Every structure is written in structure tokens, then in C-alpha cells.
Structure 1
């Protein structure tokens, strides 16, 4: 393994004699987040929060979309075409280090949801006490019948009448009141299934430490396939069941699910290592809108909080008004939301988008390597278009072209992020580090109109901070004539190939 001093000794080519840089395999340029296409109310709130929090813009926007999905998923389904309709819930995954302030962003955009949960819990206190009393009375009756049956059996007398009473009593068992609980953190898929079956059929897994979800016991190699399948079915709106000898059985019909996670790259790599090919083979990750933004850590200088938050307040008022509407909860415990269709021009645009994606899935096509993700992207576009339409205009009418166009731009950006991430994930760890460092160096140098950066600064601010990993990554970049270490007096600097430092 080379250390930094050995790399400096090898950097003998004068700065004006750089060869043509060789490409990094599977590297895809990071594209700017299409912030301008977000609907007006959402865009203004995202801009307001991002201005204060200074988190990566895609992370802030994903928090807003998660709140939108969680609030609306119980109230609408979307129809893409005849016999193609389903939920609007989104699965969102942001790949970022701890400290990127996802929890803060979720707190801002989820405020109305948490307030709704608190109000519902307070309103349910009385009914829950009534239920507890009714259940205690029922259990007393049941125990009395069973005790009498034991006495009769001992006396070798008939228990037929008590058996009939016990059967009748089972039909009288009180049901607990349904109390909406929407937000969950480190819940296992199995526990989540029980919650949507028995507690409330609309839920969201929202966590800034997805290792608690992806690294949970329920995602171990033995149970990963079953649990990923369960989450897939909830994304689809399908019926899911669990029949175990050791725990209470349940069946969830008409349930809706949102997932919004932040995960560190190392944790995600470990998840892939533990689950093997299941995460992609089962279609689990294909359902996610992935973001892999550049970190803003190191650039978030102190800012006073604004005195007022008019745009965020407007966003949360709209979320609150959606949650205040009665949920279409059926007697059998699930949801049957009304279905929104695409307007004719929006339907034509959706079909065109679907077909353009489909053509690139073939071998040799641009999306062939991420065809699992790309195959779900048109579905995600329809979901997001429905969310945009109802949030901005209400549930009346068909989904318009403006909402569909905004949605396709957003999901296309997420598809590009998936290509970038899965392309680099397929590389060996040292080459993946080199690819991340390369992208960061180029962006930093272009932004600062330079071709050099001190190694300490690169380690402090860049994506590769461990010294040995930095050395390996720089060695790989030197082999490709993309960067090298140089000595300027006593300062160690990373110089990038001038051809890469020129802004495009």
C-alpha cells in the first residue's frame, strides 16, 4: 500500500506535461437537482428550509416529498391506464454521511404530521380506556366459561352448552379503536406489517439512520427475501399476511406505505454484502428514488434562524388540511382511496416517457445496467404527478400535464442518480473511492478556479477521509493521469489534470 510520501515521489511529470486523462470506468457525471420544476408551494418551502439548514438540496427536497407521500397516500390512488392503477406512496433513499441534517429537514416538513398524530392520540384516550374495560369484562366472561368447562369435564358432564357459549363469545370480542400512527423509525418489516394490519393501514418508515432498518435482524440473510417481499407488496398495495405459530397472525389489505431513509454508503455496501443479490433481484431497491448528493459539511457557516417561515408554514397548513380529511377506511380495516386518472395530454406524455425508458432497457441501451430501477420509473412518475396535482390543486379533476412534466423531470434525475450509484457500487471499493474523490476534486477545482487543493483540506472536506483509503484512491487516479500529489515547500497538494479543471 502506498503512503502519501511515496505518491509524491512518483509525481515527476511537470505540470505542463500532463497526458490526456483516462476515463474512470462507470463514472457518470452528477446532474444538478431540477429544483425549478417543483410545484410552487413545495419549491418555496424547500428553498426556505435549505437556506437555513444548508443541507444538500436533494436531501431537503426528499424530506418534503416524503411528507407529501405520507400525508396523501391514504387519500388517493393513481390510474396510469386501464387495469394499471395503484398507490401513490414513494420509497426514497438518500445516500449520505451522518450529520447531513436529514432529521432536521424531516422535522420541518413532518411537523404537521406529528401534530396530527398527537391530536389523534389525545382524542383516542377515552375510547382506549373504554376498550380496555370492555376487553377486561370479555376476558372475565371467557375465563368463567372455561373454568366452568373444566369443572364439568372433571365431573364427566357434558360441556356442549359452554362450548357454544364460548363460540358465541368469540364473536363478541371487542375490537381496539383504530388510532392513526403514521411515522415509524427503526421498525422491522414484520412489525410494520402487523402495525398496518391492526393499528392503522397508512404508515411511513422515516429514518436518518437507515442502518437501523437495513441492518436490522429482519434484514439478515435468512429473512431478507421474505421481508423485502413484504415491503415490495406494500409498495404495490397488495394484500400481505403472516401466519406464525409463535406470534399473532395478521393480514393487511388496502395498506399504504412510504419509506424515506438516509444511509451511509458503507452501511449500504454492508447491506449488499449481507443480502447478496436479493436487494436488486427482488426488486426492492428498484422501487426507490435514490439521491446521492454532494455533502455540504464544511461549508455550512452559522446563520440565524429566520424570524418567520411563511413558505414552510403554507406547506404544513396544506399537509394538515389533507390529514384532516376523513380517511377512506373500510369496515374490513383497509383503505380504498378514490382513483385519479391522467388527463389525455398527460396520459400521452406519460406513455411517451414510458416508451422512451423502455427502449433504453435493451442490451446496449443506456439504461440496461439499471433496468430494474428504470422499469419502475414510469410508475414512480405517475405517483409523483398525482401527489403534485392533489397537493397544489386538490383531488378534483384529472392529473394535468404540468404535474406530469414536473414529476418526470424529478424521477429522471433520481434515475440518473441510480445509474451513478450502482455504476460505482459495481466497482471494487478502492475504485469506488477513487471515483468519488475524482468527482469531488473536479467540482471543487472548477468552483474555486484552481487545479490544486491541499491534501488536508481534501481529507477534511472530501468524500474519502481515511488516510489509507485516500492514498489508494489517489494512486488509482494517478494511474489514469487524472490527479497526482505534489510538494510545494512543505505543503502536500493534490493537483488534478488541467484538462479536468476547465469548467464545461
Structure 2
């Protein structure tokens, strides 16, 4: 593949460090759609994850790990999320269509076989002295229906995904360019959110899925699912600030991007140069689609391959992990995202494994694979850190507004931290109450109020600033 670049395109370091063939694809997606590069990157990596996860695992010091990747992109409406996914997914959809056509033929054969089997069973069942075991021995087990080819899902429930896995399609993708459909649905309602997130966490971990219904026990192992959730920032802020998701480790399993908008810079140009650029980009995407199609087709035929990383990669991965471990200590740079950082070592191995399995035939050197993998995990770690900082500010603002509203409704002018934690839902303890109170002091809404209690102990509270504005300007 040859790389194409737009004259207005400034490549960032993480894109520059990608293996040549993947870099060409990401830039081509951007050139055609003019969508943010980071979004194009996550879409391309999602497709690669879907293509190679079925028949590849990677060896780590903690054992063999699957290669499934979970991505999340926050982008406003109009950023051309659908356009990027439509192009990136062409090879997957081509393979899925082929499987569906084959399924229809196989299902007709299955129906005939099932009818013949049922008829023979009825005849034998009328024979005196013959047992059920003898009937089965004579005619064989009941024919099984062919696997329903559901590789790509755009919406889901845990029961629906479980049924899809149970039918035999155990390697698939969940790709949604409007994730409000999922996060606003019953799957992520208050009553189901814990169950849904636990299910997805278990799938990412590669654990066996079990279900017991009506005294029947079912288990499914070796399940692989790659995800790309695209959502508007407002949806992300509403749902992803939920402490439950954080405590369950939901966000720690995602590689997130919050790309800078490209709206306002997507000018249409009619020129020979632009025409040639687009033709080259479409050719690269077509080659990528064929590659994905072939990877998927081969994965259905071959045994699972265990990728053994080079010693060079293992050494650098260990250095990366050790550095992060030290920075997760209280007050360290990564202490705010310690849940994600704890899994960054495995994220790194999965990214390396996906790249190695995808481009083993493309003359990509080991140095390129290592540089790209490390660059990617550092990029996504920085994104998670920035998201967490932003999310903490938003959560702080929301709780501060709840406190101000509570005081206004109840006609309260002064309040102590202990009363804040007792009366405001979502403020869990006195320490958090003090953090919110101090934040409102910084915003100019509160001033400190000191008095001595009946035990002659100094007590610090907060008092509304006289004639102050109760609104908070967003950070």
C-alpha cells in the first residue's frame, strides 16, 4: 500500500509510529471522510481486532490472553462516525454476507435432514421393545442447525449476545456509531447496568460464560468480542461518571479517544490533485477490505495460534509496566487512573498481538511493531488520564450544583461538611463534602465560616457569599 496525505493534514506522532500499511489505512479513512484521525485509528484497530481475535492468542507472563480490543470514541454529532465505520468495516461485512448466503443454503439442507430424522424416529418409536438409546444408536443424534453468522452487532442485550455465542458464533464485534441507543436502553438502565457491565468485563477477560435457567446449566468458553462504542460527549459525561462503572472496572478495559473536532475545516475541493488523492485512498481501503476478508476466512479454518513476543518486546513492556506501577502510588501521576493503568500491561500485549497477527505477511519489522504498540498504549493512557480529569471536574460541578440547589430550596445560608454528606445524595463522606465545599470557595460561591462548638473545638463550615450568583460557570 502507498500512503496518501492531504495537503492540510498534520500527522500526529502516534499515527507516524504505526506500521506502514496501517498508517496508510488510517490516513486514507481520514482523507476520504475528513473525520478526526484518532477516530479513524480506533475504527481501523477495531476491525483488525475482529479479524484476528478468532484464531490468535498472545503469551504473557500471566498466561495466554485473547486479542479482543474495546474502544470508545467521544465525538459530537456530525463528525462522520458512520462514514468512517462504513469504510473500515467493508471487509467484515463482505465476509458476513458470504456466510449469510451460505447459511441460507445450509439451513434448507438442515430442514430436510431434520424432517427425515424425525420421521425415522417416529417409525422406530412404534416398534415394540426398542429403547430410546437404541433409537439414537440406529438413526444418530438430532441434526444441529447451522451457525447463524452474526459477526457484527450494533445493539445488544446480555441475553442476546449470550444466545449469539451459544449458537456457535463465538468471535464477533459490537460496533455502534450512536451508543446512546445502548446506554439509553434497558441494557444500561439502573436495574441492569451492573449485570451488563459485569458481562462485558467477563467477555474482555476471556472468561467462560455460564447461565443457569430452569435448572439447566449452560457454559460457553473461548468467546471473543471486540467493541467500538462511539458516543457524543454529553452521553459519555452522563453515563460514564457513574461510580459503579468505575468500581466494576468497566472503563479500565476501554481504549478511549476524545478527538479534537474537524468540523469547520472539511472544505470540498475539486482539483486533479484532490481527485488523485481520493482515488489512491479508495484503492488503499479496498486493499484493506480484502485483507480483512482473507484474515476472517483463514481464521475459520485454522487452529488457534499462540503469538510469542520477542525478548526485546518483553523487556520494554516490563519497563513500561514497572514505571506505571510506581506512578500509581498515592499522589503519583497515574493514581487517578490506577484501574486503567493496572490493565495497561495487558492492553499493550493485545495491541502488539493484533498488529503482529495482522501484518505478519507485510514485511513489518519487529522494531516497527514494538514502537507502534508502545506509542499506542501511551497515547490511550494519556487519553484516559485527560478523560478522568475532565470527568472529575464535571462530577464535582454536578455535586456542587446539587449542594447549592439544596441550600437555596431549604433557605440555608451556612452548612457544615458533615451535614453535606448526610443530606446530599451522591456525596459519600465528609472528605468529599470538604472537597466540594472548597471547590465552591474557589468559585466564589462560598466563604469559610469558623465557630467553636460546645466542647471548645474549632469547627469549619461554609457560608454562602452574600448576594453571590448561585450558578457555576463550566470549567
Pair 1:339–1:165, CA change in 2 (3 A):
same
Tell me the equivalent position of 1:316: 289
Pair 1:194–1:172, CA change in 2 (3 A):
same
Query: Which deviates more, 54-63 or 231-240?
Result: 231-240
Tell me the equivalent position of 1:307: 279
Tell me the equivalent position of 1:426: 392
Tell me the equivalent position of 1:4: none
SS at match of 1:301: coil
Tell me the equivalent position of 1:75: 55
Tell me the equivalent position of 2:80: 101
**Aligned mates of 2:443, 2:114 — CA distance in 1:** 72
Match of 1:408 among 367, 374, 383: 374
Q: Is the 8 A contact 1:342 1:400 kept in 2?
A: no
Tell me the equivalent position of 1:114: 93
Tell me the equivalent position of 2:307: 340
SS at match of 1:186: coil
Tell me the equivalent position of 1:135: 114
Larger relative contact order, structure 1 or 2 (CA cutoff 8 Å, min sep 6): 1
SS at match of 1:204: strand
Q: Is the 8 A contact 1:185 1:206 kept in 2?
A: yes
> 5 Å matches for 1:160-175?
172-175=141-144
SS at match of 2:279: coil
Q: Is the 8 A contact 1:72 1:387 kept in 2?
A: yes
In the alignment, structure 1 residue 47 sits paired with structure 2 residue 47: no
Tell me the equivalent position of 1:295: 261
**Aligned mates of 1:49, 1:138 — CA distance in 2:** 51
SS at match of 1:74: helix
Tell me the equivalent position of 1:258: 226
**Aligned mates of 1:355, 1:253 — CA distance in 2:** 32
Tell me the equivalent position of 2:181: 212
Pair 1:394–1:254, CA change in 2 (3 A):
farther
Q: Is the 8 A contact 1:202 1:256 kept in 2?
A: yes
Tell me the equivalent position of 1:271: 239
Q: 1:124 deviation in Å?
A: 2.7
Tell me the equivalent position of 2:42: 62
Unaligned runs of 5+ residues in structure 2 are: 1-10, 399-439, 445-475
Q: 1:173 deviation in Å?
A: 1.7
TM-score by length of 2: 0.73
Query: Which deviates more, 414-423 or 312-321?
Result: 312-321
Unaligned runs of 5+ residues in structure 1 are: 1-30, 150-158, 330-335, 433-475, 481-504
